[in-house]
Chain A
Amino acid sequence: MVTMIIKRLIQLIFLLIGITFIVFMAMHIAPGDPASIIGGPTATQSDILAIHHRLGLDKPIIIQYLDYLNGILHGDLGFSFQTNRSVAQEIWTRLPNTIDLAIASMIVAIIIGVPAGIISALKQNSWLDFSSTTLSLAGISIPNFWLGALLILVFAVNLQWLPVGGLDTPFWTFKGFKEILLPAITLGTGSAAMIARMSRSSMLEIIRADFVRTARAKGVKEHMVIWVHCLRNALIPVVTVIGLNFGGLLGGTIITEQVFAINGVGRLMVESIASRDFPMVQGGVLLIAFIFVIVNLVVDIVYALIDPRISYQ
Chain B
Amino acid sequence: MFEHILEVKDLGIQFKTAEGFLSAVHGISFNVKRGETVCIVGESGCGKSVSALSLIGLLPNNGEVYKGAIKFQGKDLTKLTSDEIRKLRGNDISMIFQEPMTALNPVFTIGYQLREPLKIHQGLNKARANQVAIDLLRQVGISVPEQRMKQYPHELSGGMRQRVMIAIALACNPKILIADEPTTALDVTIQAQILELLNDLKQRFETSVVMITHDMGVVAEVADRVIVMYSGEIVEQGDVETIFNHPEHPYTQGLLASVPNVDLEQDILEAIPGTMPNLEEQISGCRFHPRCPFATDKCRETKPDIFSIDQHDVRCWLKEAEADGQASRIISN
Contact = CB atoms under 8 A, between A and B. Distances in A.
Given A217-B56, A233-B105, 16 more contacts: A210-B103, A213-B58, A215-B105, A217-B97, A217-B169, A218-B89, A218-B94, A218-B116, A218-B168, A220-B120, A229-B105, A229-B108, A307-B106, A308-B107, A308-B152, A308-B154
A218 B116 CA distance: 8
Contacts of A220: 90, 116, 120
B117 interface: yes
A194 to B, nearest CB: 23
A3 to B, nearest CB: 21
A217 B106 contact: no
B88 interface: yes
A229 B104 CA distance: 10
A219 B91 contact: yes
Q: Which of B58, B105, B120, B168: most chain A CB closer than 10 A?
A: B105
B165 interface: yes
Contacts of A308: 106-107, 152, 154
Nearest to A228: B108
Contact of A216 (B87, B89, B108, B168): B89
A209 B102 contact: yes
Interface string B121-132: 100000000000
A233 B107 contact: yes
B143 to A, nearest CB: 21
Nearest to B85: A219
Q: Which of A211, A215, A216, A232: most chain B CB closer than 10 A?
A: A211
Contacts of B87: 219
B4 interface: no
A219 B117 contact: yes
A218 B97 contact: no
Interface residues of A, number: 20
A307 B152 CA distance: 10
A214 interface: yes
Closest 6 interchain pairs by CB?
A219-B90, A218-B90, A210-B102, A219-B89, A211-B105, A308-B152
Contacts of B58: 213, 216-217
B95 interface: yes
A309 interface: yes
Interface in A170-228: 209-211, 213-222
Interface in B135-164: 152, 154
B97 A219 contact: no
B171 to A, nearest CB: 8
A302 interface: no
Nearest to B57: A216
Contacts of B329: none
B116 A211 contact: no
Nearest to B109: A308
Contacts of B107: 232-233, 306-308
Contacts of B154: 308-309
A309 B153 CA distance: 9
Interface string B7-42: 000000000000000000000000000000000000
A275 B108 CA distance: 56
B97 A210 contact: yes
B320 interface: no
A217 B90 contact: yes
B86 interface: yes
Nearest to B53: A213
Contacts of A217: 56, 58, 89-90, 94-95, 97, 169
B106 A213 contact: no
B224 interface: no
A306 B106 CA distance: 10
